[in-house]
Amino acid sequence: MAVIFSIPILLVLLVLQSTVASKVTLLNGTADLLLVWLAAWALSSKDRSGYILAGIAGALVSYITAIPWYIYLSAYLLVILLARYFSQKLWESPLLAMLIIIMIASIYLYTFTFIGLRIKGVDYPLSISLNQVIIPSVFLNLFIAIPVFAIAKDFSKWFYRLENAS
């Protein structure tokens, strides 16, 4: 049931990511709204719907980008795995866990995007990519993490209250 309600959210975030968020840049880095939403949802949800949502989000983003499909899929699945691990085993502070998950997953995503582009023949220098794209993108993801976490937490409370009432 959570997947059915979350698919429209993923579609809206995908449209926002490809239109609005791509125009809001820090140097050449942009935020990944889907990555941040998946981390927030996995930390605040009470079920394992995050794995299905990560697969759907990975497929959607891979469809509209030129990056190899397995990079986004693996990054989004890594977000869910880290969130499940942090929420069950490690910490009771979900906001701190959110920031750490976003940092690890963003570095993973942008590093493997750089490698994937290198394999496809696009030759960017590592130092410029690191300073102009990877570090600013990680910072933007961390910047939007707190408000997205608050929205996802409220949405999950509303959704699970609605689900328990029926």
Domain locations in the chain?
32-165
Helix intervals (H) in the chain: 2-19, 33-44, 49-64, 69-85, 94-119, 126-129, 135-165
Q: What does pLDDT average to in each consecutive run of 10 residues of the chain (166 residues)? A: 82 91 87 93 84 92 88 93 84 84 93 87 85 92 94 83 60
Distance CA 107, CA 105 (A): 5
- In terms of phi and psi (left: phi > 0; alpha: psi -120 to 50; beta: otherwise), the region of 121 is left
Asked if residue 70 lies in contact with residue 61, where contact means CB atoms within 8 angstroms, the answer is no
What per-residue confidence (pLDDT) applies to 125? 87
pLDDT at 164: 60
Q: What is the pLDDT of residue 103?
A: 94
Q: Which two tokens stand for residue 93?
A: 């502070």
pLDDT for 165: 57
Measured distance CA(156)–CA(43) in Å, rounded: 10
